Amino acid sequence: MSILIISDSKSDRDLISAILSVNYPVYSAKSAISGIELAHQLIPETIVIDIHNDEFDGFSILQSIKQRQDTKSIPVILLSEECTVIANTVKGLKLGAFDCLANPIDDALLSIKVDAAIHARRQELELLHSKEQAKERHPDILVVDDATEMIMLLERTLTDAGYKVKTASSGNQAIALAQDLQPQLILMDVLMPGLNGFDTCRRLKSNPSTEAIPVVFVTSEDISSAEEEGFSAGGVDYITKPINVPLLIARIKIHMQLKMYQDSLESVVKQRTKALRQSLEKLSNSNQIKDDFLTIINHELRTPLNGAQGALYLLQHSDKIPSEEKELLATADRSLADLCNLVENILILTEAFAGTLKLESHTFSLSKLLSTTQEEGEKCAQSKSLTFSTNIDIAENDCFLADSAQLSRILWHLVDNAIKFSHHGNITIKANLSEHPHHDELLNFSFTVTDEGIGINTEKLQLIFKLFQQLESNSTRQFGGLGVGLPFCRALLFLMNGEINVSSEEDHGTTVSIDVPLRKCAKNKTSTAQPLDKVDTSNKCILIVEDNPVNQLVERKFCEKYGLNVITAANGEEAIVALENNQIDIVLMDCQMPIMDGFEATKIIRQSREEIRKVPIIAVTANSTTLDRTLCEEAGMDDYTPKPIDFDELTLKLNHWLTNHPHPQKN
């Protein structure tokens, strides 16, 4: 447990050592060579590197440390002159740094950042250790069957395929083993004496410690008569007897991979959400640090989600996927959509609390927005056997000017909460418009959701707008959620000059109402955009600029699917060369890249010769903040899409720019 300082300034080394040696052993090096050698020898928990040195470049040391297997996971904190700290922070993060600190050094801030780095390092080591222990202890598959011959067949078949197998001969034994051993998958016979497979599955799914374990049923029954009950019990698939061994192994492999991806995503989200809370508490007094943190979290959460969502989109739109596997893809897509929505809500809420969120104004139809909310609400209510009624007094062909995306999020949060916390009864939504008391150009939009669910007691009613407050309650653990919904709605409504009110009685339901002023505008023109596969893409060429190989692959496959010729580049410099040497019709430009980012590349392109500077550029960025959108506009980008990419929306954007802005050389 130690800290290594690399700086050619003796005064800086002495100062940092004095601050940190109170809690940690500190070593220092004044040259790049000695610093790198000490890093390999000591394997410290954190390394502090001065970027500005007369004898060496701090970024080069960072790259050297990150290239070595034994030191690449060590957190590195960079020291930068105050005037360049923002630019150096961005560059350092791209190269793998943990954080960046301005010099002259703030004692308290240095201690906080070093503590955070060491905490992250220890958590990472503990996670690796726990994963190794879990791999040794937990079986891959639990086979449950009352027939000895079938257990022996399945155990031998799965063991030969390389899986660790445990067995149970009854439902009660399976529940006990599942709780104790936490297998990756359960292969469950349906017809067993006592507790049958369906009832066993229901009990597993009602227990928080086993609810996430996928259950595949094994049955000799006609599937059509049993599959509805099996899926409603919580099963994910069926295998019929007699066992087709190759098919069994293939389907087991798919489910094991899906479980691995799910566990990995959940682990990442839990770790990063925890880090988000801790960092917000420690850095609440520094607005600049909040902005930097928000940028990092945006990028780190959105980037992996973009690859997963893009791959699922392409698979779902492929003709080569067997029909029996499409349900699995649909399930994965729904789960990923929920995860993306959760991440998006947390990031928007964080940006709102940091004071950097700015609403956008677009013309939209309120009646269409409400119709979409109503349709989604009816589907979700039906899945829980709830009735859903509406009383919407909004004229069709209306037109307003506001941030329709954020308003839609608010409405859906209210409807989703009502459904989530209701076991039975009716969900009612009411909506109407009225004259604004002070401004003729505004109308007051009122929206009310009433349910007959669990309600909220008087004491809890005073706390529901506090962030993460519901996380501590028994009801939230039962019904799910992070306790960000109502704080999220209130934060957005505050920016919209709106209000939210809640009334509730425990065990008798809840009523939530909002009032938002909306600006009237001229009737919106109907969009004439056509799907990209209806547009003539022959001889059209797109340049994809993306440094992440997974995202580059997904974007390339998407564009090729619709007949576009594709050229790829891994950074801004490569993009400029590609534009000089090829006839490009449109550019999909990532913003955060090494060597040269998308902002700088776009500025250079806009100053080039006419055929190049007029090529449309669509920005793609994981830092979906208001500041980032402003930077895109200032750089000269024509359009913008955040990660994870909504490929249906990207289709319309590509159609618009390819149709209305042909390449100058082709005119």
Alpha carbon distances (Å) from 529 to 586, 627, 640, 660 = 17, 28, 17, 11
One domain, residues 300 and 423: no
One domain, residues 438 and 497: yes
Residue 194 and residue 174 in contact, taking contact as beta carbons nearer than 8 Å: no
SS3 category, 317: coil
Task: Estimate the crossing angle of helix 626-635 against helix 598-605, to 10 degrees.
Answer: 20
One domain, residues 626 and 570: yes
106 assigned to some structural domain:
yes
One domain, residues 374 and 508: yes
Give CA 464 to chain center in angstroms.
Answer: 24
Of residues 126 and 390, the one with the higher pLDDT is 390
Provide the pLDDT for residue 289.
55
The strand pair at 426-435 and 442-450 is best described as antiparallel
One domain, residues 172 and 190: yes
13 assigned to some structural domain:
yes
- Any idea which residue has 């692959």 for tokens? 553
One domain, residues 28 and 163: no
Q: Which of 493, 520, 547 is the last residue of a domain?
A: 520
Provide the pLDDT for residue 325.
78
Output the furthest CA–CA distance in the chain (Å, rounded).
80
The number of helices, as runs of H, and strands, as runs of E, in the chain is 23, 22
471 assigned to some structural domain:
yes
Cα separation, 166 vs 142, in Å, equals 5
The residues, ordered by sequence, that sit 6+ positions from 282 with a Cβ below 8 Å of its Cβ are: 112, 116
Q: Which of 331, 354, 377 is the last residue of a domain?
A: 354
One domain, residues 151 and 121: no
Confidence of residue 473 (pLDDT cuts 50, 70, 90): very low
Cα separation, 535 vs 529, in Å, equals 10
Find which of 394-398, 568-572, 640-644 is predicted with most confidence, using mean pLDDT: 568-572
Poorest-pLDDT segment among 340-344, 548-552, 651-655: 340-344
Residue type, 508: H
Provide the pLDDT for residue 298.
64
* Structural domain count of the chain: 5
Alpha carbon distances (Å) from 170 to 146, 226, 232, 441 = 6, 20, 21, 70
Q: HSE (CB half, 13 Å, CA atoms) of 189?
A: 26
Poorest-pLDDT segment among 7-16, 597-606, 655-664: 655-664
250 assigned to some structural domain:
no
Q: What is the pLDDT of residues 224-244, one digit of tens each?
A: 567 788 888 999 888 888 888
- pLDDT of 345 over the 90 cut: no
248 assigned to some structural domain:
no
Poorest-pLDDT segment among 33-42, 338-347, 540-549, 614-623: 338-347
- pLDDT of 32 over the 80 cut: yes
Provide the pLDDT for residue 618.
95
256 assigned to some structural domain:
no
Question: Which two tokens mark 438?
Answer: 């002070």
| Letter string b/e over residues 565-596, b meaning 16 or more CB atoms within 10 A of that residue's CB | bbbbbbbbbbbbebbeeebbbbbbbbbbbeeb
Confidence of residue 310 (pLDDT cuts 50, 70, 90): confident
Q: DSSP characters for 565-586?
A: EEEEESSHHHHHHHHHHS--SE
CATH of the domain at 371: 3.30.565.10
Question: Which two tokens mark 344?
Answer: 């998006």
Phi (first) and psi of residue 451, to 5 degrees? -130, 170
Cα separation, 469 vs 460, in Å, equals 9
Q: Which of 471, 491, 520 is the last residue of a domain?
A: 520
Kind and range of the H or E run holding 64: helix 58-67
Confidence of residue 223 (pLDDT cuts 50, 70, 90): low
- pLDDT of 461 over the 80 cut: no
Provide the pLDDT for residue 75.
93
Cα separation, 7 vs 360, in Å, equals 45
* Mean pLDDT of the region 186-210: 92
Confidence of residue 454 (pLDDT cuts 50, 70, 90): confident
252 assigned to some structural domain:
no
One domain, residues 415 and 503: yes
Tell me the pLDDT of the chain averaged across its residues. 83
CATH of the domain at 58: 3.40.50.2300
Q: Classify burial at 171, counting beta carbons within 10 Å of its beta carbon; exposed 0-12, middle 13-18, buried 19 or more.
A: buried
Provide the pLDDT for residue 482.
44
Confidence of residue 448 (pLDDT cuts 50, 70, 90): very high
Q: What is the pLDDT of residues 144-194, one digit of tens each?
A: 999 999 999 999 999 998 899 999 999 999 999 999 888 989 999 998 988
- How open is the CA angle 551-557-560, to the nearest 5 degrees? 140
Confidence of residue 529 (pLDDT cuts 50, 70, 90): very low
- pLDDT of 478 over the 50 cut: no
* Mean pLDDT of the region 607-633: 82
One domain, residues 234 and 315: no
- pLDDT of 518 over the 80 cut: yes
- pLDDT of 466 over the 50 cut: yes
One domain, residues 380 and 398: yes
- pLDDT of 587 over the 70 cut: yes
Provide the pLDDT for residue 475.
42
Q: What is the pLDDT of residues 362-394, one digit of tens each?
A: 888 899 899 989 998 999 899 889 999 999 988
One domain, residues 513 and 537: no
Residue type, 121: R
Cα separation, 235 vs 13, in Å, equals 60
Confidence of residue 261 (pLDDT cuts 50, 70, 90): confident
Provide the pLDDT for residue 588.
96
* Mean pLDDT of the region 77-92: 86
Q: DSSP characters for 128-164?
A: HHHHHHHHHHS-SEEEE-S-HHHHHHHHHHHHHTT--
Nearest alpha carbon to residue 546 among 622, 614, 615, 628: 622
Provide the pLDDT for residue 84.
82
- How open is the CA angle 633-635-637, to the nearest 5 degrees? 60
Alpha carbon distances (Å) from 274 to 116, 267, 640 = 12, 11, 30
* Mean pLDDT of the region 497-503: 92
Q: HSE (CB half, 13 Å, CA atoms) of 289?
A: 18
Cα separation, 496 vs 518, in Å, equals 9
400 assigned to some structural domain:
yes
CATH of the domain at 275: 1.20.58
One domain, residues 380 and 516: yes
Provide the pLDDT for residue 202.
94
The strand pair at 509-520 and 400-402 is best described as antiparallel
- What domain range is 500 assigned to? 366-520
